[in-house]
Structures are given as C-alpha cells and as structure tokens.
C-alpha cells in the first residue's frame, strides 16, 4: 500500500470521528456575505435573519424571496479558522436551498426578526403580501407571546391603517385570534370608542372584513365584549345600512350565534326601517335584513312595515320592500297590507311603484274583490285603463276576475265598454281594449 494513501486515509478517519464532528459543528459560523440565492427566481428586498441555532449563537443566514424560498450557508472551524472553504464529512455543501427554513429554527428566526424591527418596519411588512404571511406564521407560533405583544403594539397605534390594508387585514385577523383576553378587550374598546375609526373601517371592504372577524372571535370567547360591538352597530345602524359594505356587518350580527346579544340591532331596525325602506340603497339592505331576521323582533318589524303600506307603496324605493314582504306569503301580513291599501287603489294604480304593488295584491282573492269593486264605483276607471302604468293594473284585474269569478269579470268589462271610444284614443288603452274583446 502506498504510504501517502494510508496517511490520508488515517487523517480522514480521524476527522470523521463523532467527537471531531461535534466539535466542528459547535464552531459553525454564518458568512452573511456569501449567502447564495436560488437561480431563476425574481428577487425581493433581501432580509437577512440571524437565528439562534441549537449549537451556535449564529448558524443560519436566511434570505426571504418572492417565491417564499430560503437559503443558508455555513463555514466550519469557528472565527479563527483560516480556511473558508473547508467542509465537514456527511454534511450538505456550503450553499443549499430549502422551500422553508428547518422547523427547529422557525420560531427563533421569526421572533428575533420581528422583535429587532422598528414600528414602521413591522407596519410596512404587514401591508406587504409576503411580509403579511411571515407575520401571520409568526403569530401562530405556540409558546411565544413576544411576537403577539409586538404586533399588538402596532395594531393599537395604526389600527385603521392595518385594518383597511389589503394584506394587513390578515395580520389583524390572526392577531385577534392569537391574543389573550386583555389584548382583545383593549382592541375592542379602541374600535368601538373611536367613531371615525369604527365607521371608516366598517364601510371599507378590508376594514369590514376585520370587524366581521372580530365579531366571530368575540362570539366564540367567554367574554362579554361582543355586547359592545352590537351596541355600536345599533348606534350607527342607519348609517351602515345605506352602505353596501357596512350593511354586510349588520347582516352578520343577525346570525343565530349572536341572538342573545343582538337586540341592540333589532331595536335600531324598528326605529329606522321605514326611512331605510324609502332610500335607494337602504331598501336593498332592508330586504336583505328581512331575509335574515329571526326571533320575536322579526314579527314586530314586519307588522310595522305592513301598517305603513300606503306610504311605502307610493315611494319609488319603498314599494320594493312592501313587495318583498308580500312575497313572504304570510297570510296575516297580506291581510294587513291589503286592508291598509283600501281606498287608495285608483291613485296607486297610476303610480309606477304603486301599480306594481296593486298588481301583486290582485293575485290575492280577497283584495281582488275589493279592488274591482273600487274600480266599478269610480268614475276614473277609464283613466286608469288609459294610463301608462294603470293599464297594466287593469289588464291584471281582467285576467284575475276571468280566472276566479266570471260574473265579476263581466261587470268590469261592461264598465269599460261604456267608454270604448276613449280607450281607442290612447295607445295604452288599446291594450285593455284588445283584452276585453278577446
């Protein structure tokens, strides 16, 4: 055997001994300047994150990339080592890439990075897509409340900015899931006590998502903080319901989960439902509210709407709410609405919104009899038949009487035939004429 080969083999065997490996591994050091990034990926701003490994004060150097990858580099031999290119048997090469850092170091990496950053740096990170994901994962780490406390400080100082951010809202959501009751109480109090903060967040697409997240979290907790949110929703019920985004928070509050704490909302609905029904956006929100209502307050609100059927039928927006209540097919409500409309059939028939309500009510037999009798007694029946809206009401009346009561139908036709000349003079009246002659 060649002496030189034997010597090299003995040296290599000695260097590979367990004691020697442990000693070398304990002396590993990070060379931050030599960290290599994976090729083929677009680079984001470089963030070098020193972490405390299990064997050394600073083993890993981690870079964050747009693709979420990480790379590391190590140099064995300690700071006094003269060779920067030395390697240890059975260990990876000097530069390696991982889709994520080793789990044993994850907690330390994130904690140290976040704790070392300034307030504005963390805020900017939270508003960035990759930074937001980084913070969310940090907030999810078990057994380390330092990141939660740090992000809580930022959330308390920049609450609205964080809540209304496209990516920051996810950090806010993860924070309120991770924080303790004291932090949750402070956040809730800040949101409900600052009117501008609450309203601006509620009508923002991202901010409203945070408010709804807070409601869900508080609904699962054993605290009574949810009552504060419900009370605030009741205070600003009218304002939120005329906003499409804001009304979505109100609708969430009607969920069965919160039925014991949302009476503030129902009381506000009783106070504002009529004015909202007569509003362009409010009428849409009220129809959605009607669909979601539950409990004893539901009947009270529907009764209030039914009792005000006439003014709602005359309104260009309120008639939509009244028709929506009719669509519920509740016999008691239908009877109440039809009763309230008696004596107003002629006037309502010649209004755009009102004519739609009368047409719908004519499908109910009891109202049909009363409405046709009102036509028979009136000297304005032909006027209704010639009207741009009224002619549709008259056509519906003719069809329904023909279907239900032929005798009543003949009486209505005879009433209209008395004024055939007038019917033929106007385009709208001709539609009625064709129907009675068919």
Kindly state the tokens that stand for 62.
Answer: 């981690």
Question: What kind and span of H or E run contains 85?
Answer: none
Contacts with 10 (C-beta within 8 Å, 6 or more apart), sequence order: none
As to burial, measured by CB atoms within 10 angstroms (0-12 exposed, 13-18 middle, 19+ buried), residue 138 is: buried
CA distances (Å), origin 145, targets 138, 174, 175, 178, 216? 10, 13, 11, 9, 22
pLDDT one digit per residue (tens) for the chain, 438 residues:
444 444 444 544 444 444 554 454 444 444 444 444 444 434 444 344 343 333 333 233 333 333 344 443 333 334 433 333 333 334 343 343 434 444 434 555 556 777 778 889 999 999 999 999 999 988 988 877 888 999 999 999 999 999 999 999 999 999 999 999 999 999 999 999 999 999 999 999 999 999 999 999 999 988 889 999 999 999 999 999 999 999 999 999 999 889 889 999 999 999 999 999 999 999 999 999 999 999 889 999 999 999 999 999 999 999 999 999 999 999 999 999 999 999 999 999 999 999 999 999 999 999 999 999 999 999 999 999 999 999 999 999 999 999 999 999 999 999 999 888 787 777 788 888 888 887
DSSP annotation of 37 reads: P
- In the prediction, which pLDDT does 335 show? 95
Residues 323, 392, 363, CA angle at the centre, nearest 5°? Answer: 45
DSSP annotation of 91 reads: S
- In the prediction, which pLDDT does 84 show? 37
pLDDT digits (tens, 9 = 90+) for 296-335: 899 999 999 999 999 999 999 999 999 999 999 999 999 9
Query: pTM, whole model, 2 decimals?
Result: 0.73
User: Which residues, listed in sequence order, are joined to residue 96 by a DSSP beta bridge?
Assistant: 72
As to burial, measured by CB atoms within 10 angstroms (0-12 exposed, 13-18 middle, 19+ buried), residue 13 is: exposed
Q: For residues 399 and 436, is the Cβ–Cβ distance under 8 A?
A: no
Q: Pairing state of beta strands 70-73 and 61-62? A: unpaired
Q: For residues 92 and 41, is the Cβ–Cβ distance under 8 A?
A: no
Q: Which long-range contacts (CB under 8 A, 24 or more apart) does 129-133 make?
A: 129/167, 130/44, 130/64, 130/66, 130/68, 131/167, 132/167, 132/168, 132/170, 132/171, 133/68
């Amino acid at each position: 055997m060649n002496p030189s080969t034997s010597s090299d083999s003995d040296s290599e065997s000695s260097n590979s001994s367990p004691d020697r490996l442990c000693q070398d591994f304990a002396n590993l050091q990070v060379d931050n300047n030599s960290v290599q990034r994976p090729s083929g990926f677009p680079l984001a701003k470089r963030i070098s994150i020193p972490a405390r490994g299990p064997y050394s004060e600073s083993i890993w150097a981690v870079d964050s990339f747009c693709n979420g990858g990480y790379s590391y580099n190590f140099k064995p031999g300690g700071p006094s080592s003269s060779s920067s290119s030395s390697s240890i048997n059975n260990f990876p090469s000097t530069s390696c890439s991982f889709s994520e850092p080793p789990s044993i170091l994850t907690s330390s990496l994130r904690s140290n990075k976040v704790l070392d950053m300034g307030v504005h740096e963390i805020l900017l990170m939270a508003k960035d897509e990759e930074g937001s994901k980084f913070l969310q994962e940090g907030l999810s780490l078990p057994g380390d409340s330092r990141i939660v406390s740090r992000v809580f400080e930022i959330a308390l100082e920049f609450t609205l900015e964080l809540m209304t951010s496209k990516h920051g809202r996810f950090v806010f959501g993860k924070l309120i899931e991770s924080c303790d009751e004291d932090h949750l109480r402070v956040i809730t109090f800040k949101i409900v006590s600052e009117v501008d903060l609450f309203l601006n967040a509620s009508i923002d697409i991202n901010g409203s998502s945070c408010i709804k997240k807070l409601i869900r979290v508080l609904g699962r907790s054993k605290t009574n903080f949810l009552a504060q949110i419900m009370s605030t929703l009741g205070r600003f019920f009218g304002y939120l319901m005329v906003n499409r985004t804001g009304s979505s928070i109100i609708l969430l509050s009607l969920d069965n989960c919160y039925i014991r704490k949302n009476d503030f909302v129902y009381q506000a609905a009783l106070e504002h439902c009529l004015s909202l029904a007569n509003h362009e956006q409010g009428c849409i929100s009220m129809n959605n509210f009607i669909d979601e209502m539950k409990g004893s307050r539901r009947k009270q609100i529907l009764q209030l709407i039914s009792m005000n059927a006439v003014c709602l039928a005359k309104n260009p927006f309120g008639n939509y709410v009244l028709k929506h209540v009719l669509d519920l097919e509740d016999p008691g409500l239908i009877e109440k609405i039809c009763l309230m409309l008696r004596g107003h059939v002629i006037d309502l028939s010649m209004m755009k919104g009102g004519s739609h309500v009368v047409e719908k009510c004519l499908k109910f037999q009891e109202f049909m009899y009363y409405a046709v009798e009102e036509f028979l007694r009136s000297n304005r029946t032909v006027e209704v038949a010639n009207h741009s809206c009224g002619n549709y009401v008259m056509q519906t009346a003719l069809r329904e009487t023909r279907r239900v009561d032929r005798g009543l139908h003949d009486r209505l036709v005879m009433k209209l035939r008395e004024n055939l000349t007038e019917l033929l003079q106007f385009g709208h009246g001709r539609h009625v004429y064709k129907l009675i002659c068919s």
